[in-house]
Amino acid sequence: MRVDSLWIYPIKGCRGQALDAVDVTTEGFDGDRQFVLTDSGVPQSQKSLPALKDLSATWQAGQLTLSFKGGDPFQVPAESHRQKEPMPLIGRTVGVIDLGEPVAQWLSEAFGKRLRLVKAAAGEAISIPLPVFARLEGTVQSKTVDVAPLLLANQASLDDLNQRLEAPVPMDRFRANIVVSGLAAYAEDALDTLLLGEVSFDAVTACERCAVTTFDQAPDGASDVASKEPLRTLSRYRRRENGYAGGVMFGTYIAPLKVGRIHVGDYAG
């Protein structure tokens, strides 16, 4: 198994940022989903705000830079010492800091609605009362990930899916952090633990997919209206009974067991 690509999504729901290497903590990748847009305090995703796919966010050396639909870049000012506010997420509450008026104004003009940018700054132990998430119980998570720290996807699984689709879809529909090759299609379902580069990971459970997979992620002004694919086709052969989110599976949630660094080109140990 080989690491083919590495991705972070600095703002939850935004376009992915490809990396050659990344630092890994027990909470995930440095810079991944550390920020989230809010509308009247409610965190936004592509399900609630499809135009998020047109927002590029780059995280480099502690600086967040934004661009909307390829427009001029905007550097987010350094955070002030505002008080943390609680934001409920799945299985825990995260403390977030509002990043101020300049970026709120820029975002509101770009999206045509009032939005604010907050940074996740403190988390608490996860508690999700479902057996499939038992491996996450008690782990601390301060990022705005849905449940597990990271998502792994398998290129062979996408190749198999695309053979079943009338119009193939790219891997960016699935918003993975790690894309690997060298596994048989859907062999990721059977992973227990894995070592990539110098970092070991726990395989948590399959990722059950939502409607975000039906949005074209291309940055060329593609429609914000969802199609039915690939979710419809996946549901015919990749659905498990009694799933936690509809049961349609693609990719695997993983959790780092120690800190380290991984690179594109690393092989499983």
Question: pLDDT tens for residues 180-222?
Answer: 999 999 999 999 999 999 999 999 999 999 999 999 998 765 5
Instruction: Residue 195: count other Cβ atoms within 10 Å of its Cβ.
Output: 16
Enter the tokens of residue 198. 């110098």
Enter the tokens of residue 119. 């940074």
Question: Which CATH topology does 2-263 take?
Answer: M1 Pyruvate Kinase; Domain 3 (2.40.33)
Question: pLDDT tens for residues 98-152?
Answer: 999 999 999 999 999 999 999 998 888 899 999 999 999 999 898 999 889 999 9
pTM, two decimal places: 0.95
Instruction: Choose among 263, 5, 8: nearest CA to 155.
Output: 5
What residues are paired with 92 via a beta bridge?
Answer: 89
Enter the tokens of residue 15. 């376009």
What gap in Å lies between CA 179 and CA 5, rounded to an integer? 5
